[in-house]
Amino acid sequence: MAFTRCLNDIKPGQFAHIKQLCTDENMHRRLLDIGLIENTKIKCIGKSPFGDPKAFLIRGAVIAIREEDCKDIMIDD
Amino acid sequence: MGLTKSSVGIKAVDIGLSIEKSENEYVIALAGNPNVGKSTVFNGLTGLNQHTGNWAGKTVTNAKGVCSSKKHSYIMVDIPGTYSLMAHSTEEEVARNFICFGKPDAVVVVCDATCLERNLNLVLQTMEICNNVIVCLNLIDEAKRKGIRINKTALSQKLGVPVVSTVARKKKSLTTLLDTVDNYFDKKMIFKPLKITYNEKIENAVYMIEQILTKKGIDGVNTRWLSLRLIENNKSLIDDINKYLGIDINSDDEIKEAVNFAQTLLSNSGIDENAYKESIVSSIMSVAEDICKDTVKYDKGRYAEFDKKADKILTGRLTGYPIMLLLLMFIFWLTVSGANYPSSVLSNWLFYLQDKLHVLFDILKIPPIISSIVIDGAYRVLAWVVSVMLPPMAIFFPLFTLLEDSGYLPRIAYNLDKPFKKCSACGKQALTMCMGFGCNAAGIVGCRIIDSPRERLLAVLTNCFVPCNGRFPALIALISMFFIGTATGTFSSILSALILTLFIILGIVITFLTTKILSKTVLKGIPSSFTLELPPYRRPQIGKVIVRSVFDRTLFVLGRAAAVAAPMGVIIWLFANITVGDSSILNICADFLDPFAKLMGLDGIILMAFILGIPANEIVLPIIIMAYMSSGSLTELASISQMQNLFINNGWTVTTAVCVMIFSLFHWSCSTTLITIKKETGSLKWTVLAFFLPTIIGIVACVIFNSVISIFV
């Protein structure tokens, strides 16, 4: 089934669960490395001065991810 | 700005894999995620001063040190921080290769107790490669503050390896780590490391390949782990196995066939290459999740309230950039205003000593020619280098290290990522740029934190546009001579800091422009994906930072400059005193360069000083002074105003000063940096480009500035 929401759809303060990674291979591996797999809880906690990249709380660590990459990270509804 | 003996390649850098050890010594590898305090643990144990800082990716090569416990002596190897050992970047390869082929007697995996779950990923991966793993829960104090409680005993039972908690900043807690390691080697407890079981289809495939590997007698590497990696087509591992174990898997048809067969079987049952990798990681992560569920308790606490507030300001939409600029200016202001007085005291003192040296040499009846070479040549340039460089460095280095320790640097990268992305580059380039403030060579080594080779090259080629510490003092001196003039007090130091900041901004603007141009021409490409860890803010260890940065960095850099300056002083002296025909070699060279230099708003001597300054930028200004003094009548030069007079007598104007500053900002890198670029890029082509790129920019900028000014004046 196709997921309709991506990581860009959550605002600072909101959280979601990862459903599917549609990123390129490199990014895919990196996201797996930091523990981003199906059903991982992810919370948006802020954005940089230009609004991109945004900072996300993933398994206790804060990771900045760009808009382009966020659009390929699908989340639950 | 990792500038230490190790980061500029003098000592302890990249020791490779073969560790020489005596019989009763054990080799311990320190592994861990980036920024969990591995280097702090390493320093605490070995007493070495591996550079530390609060950001991910600071250690990019292996470093080695020794330490002894009550019972044993150990050789500690600090390997680069990595999230995984699947090896998709240079550091990960370095880390994996050491664990895999370096034959450590034990691997201590340092974990960040505040995010154990993710750290366990690496622990479990390491346990797949080797059996001798010890888990070190570092930052346990920070975890406590965040209301995270970890049951060590339960964790140790679940993992089947020893677990010890530490606060690496406190040396005492490291003795418990050593005790645990001692006990481990004395076999006081028996451990049975946890093995991860994957999905049945993968297990079958692995079993198939493992059988072949065992039959072939493949030795020196865990065959189960190797089988897992062979299925995922890990090419770098296959190459490294050939390199370190002399086993060429690619040429073995039987193994290749088995791997192909296993891959086909898997993909027939719906597990293609990507699904395979995901399944592997998911299995490991879910084991980690399960372990944490039973061993970690979260008290409802104020989770990282401070970080949240700080980030709101430091990376805020309206405040992020102004604060970055103000901070930069503030650091410059402290440097400028703090350096003035000690600088003049130092130079007075050193030149007083020069007179005494003359007297001493006279008493010892040393021939005048020798005493002139030694004192007027070597000593004088040395004195200049020390008095001009030492004070600003001794202030700037600790300040910057404090910033680094606090965790602010990654926020700079976070803030600047968007502009860098606009130039098709990576936000982490901001980090390497910051390191460049310390030393461009260190900055270039630091470029390894950038994963994409194209973006890394962009960062390498543009690193020299931020002035390193060798160029800073000259910029500061010129600013105070030609822009501040008679103004004194706070106002003048603020003004100099402002002008210096403007120059740095000019450098940063050129960095962006060049990056953009390069990525549209020779380094075409689109920005690759990007992740950046923003570590929690930590209170810097002020005392330690000051001591470390003064002794490690400042004195080291000064030592390097002095080592170059003294012989250079002799050369200049010879240049100025050996005459061919009517004039000295110095004048002949200067006259030769003069017409060209004049176009750039400089003169022959200045240009020659830049050329002679290739071994170290620090000596450019001292060479200019030396050259002017050797041909003029001035011999005493104790204050900055006298220095200014010397320059003005030699035809300097404000335009000359600006041109010198521009050229100082944009010209060839020093030889250390160029050698580092060659080493890092492995290509002469890029090294040559790195030489000419800033040089051409500098020449063009100087010529344009000079011509524009001469139209108006």
pLDDT digits (tens, 9 = 90+) for B400-427: 888 888 889 999 999 999 999 999 999 9
* Higher pLDDT among residues B384 and B418, named by residue: B418
> What's the mean per-residue pLDDT of chain B?
86
Q: Among B61-65, B130-134, B254-258, whose mean pLDDT is lowest?
A: B61-65
Is B598 touching A (CB cutoff 8 A)? no
| Residue whose token pair is 């968007």 | B418
Q: What is the DSSP letter of B81?
A: P
pLDDT of B49 > 60? The answer is yes
pLDDT along chain A (77 residues), means of 10: 86 92 85 87 93 91 92 90
Tally the C-alpha atoms within 13 A of residue B301's C-alpha that lie toward its C-beta.
15
A32 and B529 Cβ atoms separated by less than 8 Å: no
- Contact A65/B531, CB-based, under 8 Å? yes
- Contact B533/A32, CB-based, under 8 Å? no
Q: How far is A74 from chain B (nearest CA, A)?
A: 15
Question: Which of A32, A53, A65 has the CB atom closest to B277's CB atom?
Answer: A32
Q: Among B432-441, B552-561, B591-600, B677-686, whose mean pLDDT is lowest?
A: B552-561
What is the complex's ipTM, to 2 decimals? 0.94
Question: Which of B116, B274, B417 has the CB atom closest to A53's CB atom?
Answer: B417
Mean pLDDT of B171-183: 88
- pLDDT of B230-256, one tens digit each? 998 888 888 888 888 888 888 888 888
| Residue whose token pair is 């007179």 | B355
pLDDT of B313 > 80? The answer is yes
- Contact A38/B282, CB-based, under 8 Å? yes
B556/B469 Cα distance (integer angstroms): 12
**Would you tell me how many other CB atoms lie within 10 Å of the CB of residue B171?**
13
Residue B665 confidence class, pLDDT cut points 50, 70, 90: very high
| Residue whose token pair is 């980030």 | B311
Residue B623 confidence class, pLDDT cut points 50, 70, 90: confident
**Tell me, what amino acid is at A6?**
C
Mutation choice for B interface testing from A7, A30, A33, A66 by most B CBs within 10 A: A33
- Contact B533/A23, CB-based, under 8 Å? no
Residue B137 confidence class, pLDDT cut points 50, 70, 90: very high
| Residue whose token pair is 């335009």 | B655
Is A69 touching B (CB cutoff 8 A)? yes
Burial A34-54 (b: 16+ CB within 10 A, else e): bbbbeebebebbbbbbbebbb
Q: Give the list of residues 6+ apart from residue B521 with CB closer than 8 angstroms, or none.
A: none
pLDDT of residue A63: 93
pLDDT of residue B487: 58
Cis peptide before B467 (omega within 30 of 0): no
Q: How far is B272 from chain A (nearest CA, A)?
A: 13
Q: How far is A4 from chain B (nearest CA, A)?
A: 21
- Contact A30/B86, CB-based, under 8 Å? no
Strand B148-150 with B106-112, pairing: unpaired
pLDDT of residue B252: 86
**Tell me, what amino acid is at B208?**
M
Mean pLDDT of B133-161: 91
- Contact B531/A55, CB-based, under 8 Å? no
pLDDT of residue B58: 60
Is B216 touching A (CB cutoff 8 A)? no
* Higher pLDDT among residues B16 and A11, named by residue: A11
Mean pLDDT of B621-638: 70
Edge-to-edge order in the sheet of strand A54-58:
A5-6, A73-75, A15-21, A41-47, A54-58, A61-65, B531-534
Tokens coding B690: 């790195």
Mutation choice for B interface testing from A11, A19, A26, A29 by most B CBs within 10 A: A29
Query: Percent of chain B, pLDDT > 90?
Result: 38
pLDDT of residue B425: 93
pLDDT of residue B488: 63
Q: How far is B8 from chain A (nearest CA, A)?
A: 29
Residue B147 confidence class, pLDDT cut points 50, 70, 90: confident
CA B5 to chain centre: 11
**Tell me, what amino acid is at B682?**
G
pLDDT of residue B5: 39
Residue B692 confidence class, pLDDT cut points 50, 70, 90: very high
Q: Which residues from chain B sit within 8 angstroms of residue A61, using beta carbons?
A: 112, 115, 118, 533
pLDDT of B516 > 90? The answer is yes
- pLDDT of B455-506, one tens digit each? 999 999 999 999 988 888 889 888 888 887 655 667 888 888 899 999 999 9
pLDDT of residue B53: 63
Query: Percent of chain B, pLDDT > 70?
Result: 92
Instruction: Report helix, strand or coil for B525.
Output: coil
